[in-house]
Structure 1
């Protein structure tokens, strides 16, 4: 009698095989997609920071404790981290010709080239909105103020010492932004 019950059970279990439900199909498709997409998403978590740059990483708008990061490979969490790259190389800009009134009331047109570089990437990102534009504007105003203190003959004879004075004056302001002036050539 036990043999007959086993035979009925096995026949019943073979005939009771049902087709997959819709939710089971959806979960199977999602599982296959996750297996395919996961390695690709993992590759998006790594960033390479070049030797001459530093990465300031903001997680949910706050500076991450290991910022500035680099050079090399850094780990970034997608959708939560914002990476801002700051260039540490020497940068330059031309000042447009400025008309300046000297001490002896002579109008002089002066143009200059300024060379600077970033010392502290975190400061230049957090302390000023655009460090490049701010450096350019402070250079223009400092040059006008400094050159207005000299006569025309002093301007022509002591350009190098005036450039050093201008660089020191500009550097005093830009150090708060993490920017260091290298040269001011008039």
Structure 2
């Protein structure tokens, strides 16, 4: 009899511990019931039904994506190596989690493609002297493209442009 009471108390404690989740002030929690989105939890304590509901935590702070260095050919057929950094913040955690498989990879690939396009339309001299123009063009293009993913591109910074 005592063993059953002890076992029951342990099971109740485990279920209670699994049902309370903490969402930090910089996070949003997406609660899924049996794999389907159910609701969004703000910061603080939130309860879920253990083993039936799951919580996905999404960081809402500004984040940095490093675009790896890549070779780009300018308008005057000169190969340069370009390195950039993207700053973004998530505006809609539902879209980020459900509209794109891997947001960071998708953003990096999109930035690489558009970086080649923007610098490919400029001469070597223009690309070396007008970084602010390149940054602004890239930010506008990426922000427009990533809007449907639930994120806002806040800044794009070209770190270096190295001619041969």
Residues 74 and 124, structure 2, Cα contact 8 Å, conserved in 1: yes
Higher radius of gyration, 1 or 2: 1
**1:175 — aligned with what?**
147
Secondary structure at the residue paired with 1:44? helix
Please give the alpha-carbon distance, in whole angstroms, between the structure 2 residues aligned to 1:119 and 1:32: 47
**1:14 — aligned with what?**
none
Secondary structure at the residue paired with 2:85? strand
Secondary structure at the residue paired with 2:125? helix
**2:12 — aligned with what?**
38
Aligned-pair Cα RMSD in Å: 1.5
Secondary structure at the residue paired with 1:98? strand
Q: Is residue 94 of structure 1 aligned with residue 66 of structure 2?
A: yes
Whichever structure has more helix as a proportion of its residues is 1
Whichever structure has more strand as a proportion of its residues is 2
Displacement of 1:57 in angstroms is 1.0
Q: Is residue 82 of structure 1 aligned with residue 36 of structure 2?
A: no
Displacement of 1:29 in angstroms is 4.0
TM-score (norm 2): 0.90
Please give the alpha-carbon distance, in whole angstroms, between the structure 1 residues aligned to 2:126 and 2:9: 75
**1:49 — aligned with what?**
23
Please give the alpha-carbon distance, in whole angstroms, between the structure 2 residues aligned to 1:36 and 1:95: 49
Residues 67 and 108, structure 2, Cα contact 8 Å, conserved in 1: yes
In the TM superposition, structure 1's runs of 4+ consecutive aligned residues that sit over 4 Å from their partners are none
Please give the alpha-carbon distance, in whole angstroms, between the structure 1 residues aligned to 2:123 and 2:73: 9
Q: Is residue 161 of structure 1 aligned with residue 146 of structure 2?
A: no
Displacement of 1:168 in angstroms is 0.6
Question: Which structure would you say has the larger RCO, counting Cα contacts within 8 Å and 6 or more residues apart?
Answer: 2
Please give the alpha-carbon distance, in whole angstroms, between the structure 1 residues aligned to 2:86 and 2:9: 54
How many pairs does the alignment contain?
158
Structure 1 spans left out of the alignment, 5+ residues: 1-24
Which of 109, 119, 136 is equivalent to 1:147? 119
User: Could you say if the C-alpha distance between residues 89 and 29 of structure 1 is closer, same or farther in structure 2, counting changes exceeding 3 Å?
Assistant: same
Residues 65 and 104, structure 2, Cα contact 8 Å, conserved in 1: no
Residues 96 and 151, structure 2, Cα contact 8 Å, conserved in 1: yes
